[in-house]
Structure 1
Amino acid sequence: LVYNSETYQRLEVVELLVSSPLVGVTGDDGPVRAQIEPYFDSVTGEFKGNYLIFSRQYCE
């Protein structure tokens, strides 16, 4: 759930860390385009089995 406390519409990039690449992003009107990529630990550079999902959302 994305909440916009402002009085105007804005575009936000939502980033989520998930444990499976088999996920989908949906909006009020159905599926939303999203990008998923493996997440590598920033200190060790190791893949920890997590994934980042990026999605652009219009917040009203």
Structure 2
Amino acid sequence: MSYKTTVERRPELQSSVHQKHGYEVPEWITLPVTGGSDAHLSWVVGIVDVRHRRPLHTQEGGSR
């Protein structure tokens, strides 16, 4: 499973994954984004910002 989020929201996402994951020590890797489609990167920032109004654990659909 992979998630997309911003640096600012990473701690919240990490906490949510650790709370819900079945493993005692879930794998957690952070990769820097060094480039990509401007349209896609703008979409990620926009969707994360919109969803920030609700807690991560209640969101549905799409990668974060």
Greater Cα radius of gyration, structure 1 or 2: 1
Shared topology, TM-score over 0.5? no
TM-score, normalisation: structure 1: 0.33
User: When you count strand as a share of all residues, which structure comes out higher?
Assistant: 1
TM-score, normalisation: structure 2: 0.32
User: When you count helix as a share of all residues, which structure comes out higher?
Assistant: 2
Q: Which has the higher contact order (CA 8 A, sep 6+)?
A: 2
